[in-house]
Structure 1
Amino acid sequence: MTSTLSVAAIQLTSTDNWRDNLDTVKSLVNCCAEEGAELVVLPENVFLFDGKNMRALAQSSDQQIILDSITELATSLGIYLVVGSHPMLYSEDNHAVVGDRVRQSCLAISPQGELVSRYDKIHLFDVDVDDKAASYRESSVIEKGELTPKVIDVNGFKVGLSICYDLRFPELYRELTQLGAELLLVPAAFTYVTGKAHWNTLLAARAIENQCFVLGVNQCGWHNATRQTYGHSSLYSPNGERLTGLEGESGYFVCHIDKESLISQRSKMPCFSHRRF
């Protein structure tokens, strides 16, 4: 069993043009693979940053082109590829999503091209924010997923899946840790205002309280006239240290995580054995 894993985060300014977004993803994923990444994580809304048109994309023939392209990308490069979120018409048990909504699904694809796991977003961002958009109502275009935490195996590391607004709900990450997670993934599209206030604080908190590596992979920049995201994709250690990260521009980073440091942190401070609730 390997004791290290090379992980990569890709930070983008995705738009409403899925073809342009896909081309950018292909280029950056190739760069990550050339630098030895075994696991590459993409942000939320990576192929379409346009909530009102998610249903239309999921219903179109373009949907299969996107899904085939990312599968081919993972297999050709021999990597695990995690799509932060993508609109899907059906639940995991193949029930159609009602109305004009979709599921926001985090898709984990293996080097063999298998969909090894799918996590559907359970916490929906229905809030008011002091920015140009002012109001966000994800529930109008997204149907909540089932309360089923997902942990996958990536080359000997247990990896927990989540999406964006989930980050504010620590109980999900405790469940993932209880299932054995050692690395927690948070693909996101945090707004600039909420990201500046809380993004790094929340990532560090989830790392410290669960004694896990946490990889937050965010969108960045202006996506349209009213929507700006924060960027600052980051990797945190089980001790809450920011190991590496980006600022506010598009790009990527590749970094090794070490299972021995996680084991050491949990051994020195055995919080899980001290729990009373």
Structure 2
Amino acid sequence: MPAHDTPRIAAIQMNSLGEVAPNLARAADLLRHAADQGATLAVLPENFALMGAHETDKLGVAEPDGAGNGATPIQDFLAETAAELGLWIVAGTIPLASPEPDRVYAACLVYDDRGQRVARYDKIHLFDVGLPDSREAYRESATFVAGEIAPVVLDSPFGRIGLTVCYDLRFPELYRALSAAGAEIIVAPSAFTHTTGRAHWHVLARARAIENLVTLVAPNQAGHHASGRRTYGHSLVVDAWGQVIAEARSEANEVVIAEIDRNRQTEVRGGFPCLSHRRLA
């Protein structure tokens, strides 16, 4: 496929609501805005289609894997929007059915500019935590099934893209596996809580980019949601030297655009070849 040496990439920040239809309408507007600004790749945040009042709400909108026949409105929307806008879309996560009736996969799907699905990654690391010095606690494994431990990297006109989701940012071994598989861009669609985001969001995103000499695209949820949860926003694009080159500044819906210089990334990797200096597998 033809290469883009300086692609424009959009990190789509959302304040997703408790119903699917208005979230898809909002995502469509934001994706169109990204395309109008010249973006050729757009990344939606985790749970972009639904941030429900209850964790079990996702079970009621979970879709079978594969678009068509009107049974998969979220997947159909993604395929149709990608084709209409001529835009590659990394679709945050959506709930896809699993063999267990009371749990679903958190699936990150990728569509090319013709609307063809070209990759799927199911979130590996589930957010089962209690936050220090807080009454906040989360147990994603109650409603999500963890994905197979298999890093996903795909070819695109913008370079090799590695897929991660949110809590994965805390597991550098996954990012190392992606870079070892040739990733030049790694996406991290997220719904970081305000508490953990304020403490760790920037340092984690920059560290993963620095360690692997990759561009990191990290769209986040932002603001207050139907469940009462507050997410951090500050959607980021970080370059391969760890510099934040674009960042959202609101707790609202926002499109963050950055131009990626792939030639510069190649120069950095050539002059600072830490990836080839590894001594531990």
5 Å-filtered alignment, 1:102-251, equals 102-129=104-131, 134-224=136-226, 226-249=228-251, 250-251=253-254
2:263 is the alignment partner of 1:276:
no
Q: Which residue pairs with 1:26 in the alignment? A: 28
Deviation at 1:5, TM superposition (A): 1.3
Q: Deviations over 1:6-26 (max 9, x none)?
A: 100110110111111111001
Between stretches 17-26 and 54-63, larger displacement belongs to: 54-63
- Corresponding residue of 1:255: 258
Relative distance call for 1:130 and 1:229 in structure 2 (3 A) is farther
Aligned length: 271
In the alignment, what sits opposite 1:7? Answer: 9
Instruction: Tell me by how many angstroms 1:248 deviates.
Output: 3.3
Matched, 1:84 2:88: no
Q: Does 1:266 align with 2:239?
A: no
- Are 1:52 and 2:56 counterparts? yes
Shift of 1:247: 2.1
**Which amino acid is 1:9 matched to?**
A
Query: Per-residue deviation at 1:208?
Result: 0.5
Once the two structures are superposed, residues 174-208 of structure 1 have per-residue CA deviations (whole angstroms, 9 ceiling, x without a partner) of 11101110011000000000000000000000011
CA gap of 1:14–1:222, structure 2 versus 1, over 3 A, is: same
Question: Which ranges of structure 2 fall in alignment gaps of 5 or more residues?
Answer: none
Where has structure 1 moved over 3 Å in runs of 4 or more? Answer: 59-63, 130-133
Shift of residue 113 of structure 1?
Answer: 1.4
Quick check: 1:167–1:186 contact (8 Å CA) kept in 2?
A: yes
SS at match of 1:40: strand
- Percent identical residues: 41
Q: 3-state SS of the aligned residue for 1:104? A: strand
How many angstroms does 1:273 deviate by? Answer: 1.8
Please, what is the CA RMSD of the aligned residues? Answer: 1.7
> Given the two structures, how large is their TM-score scaled by the length of structure 1?
0.94
What stretches of structure 1 of length at least 5 have no aligned partner? 91-95
| Amino acid in the other structure paired with 2:26 | T
For the 8 Å contact 2:5–2:263, the answer to whether it is kept is yes
Is 1:74 equivalent to 2:77 in the alignment? no
Distance of aligned partners of 1:153 and 1:124 in 2 relative to their CA distance in 1, 3 Å threshold: same
In the superposition, relative to structure 1, how do residues 263 and 116 fare at CA in structure 2: closer, same or farther (>3 Å)? Answer: same
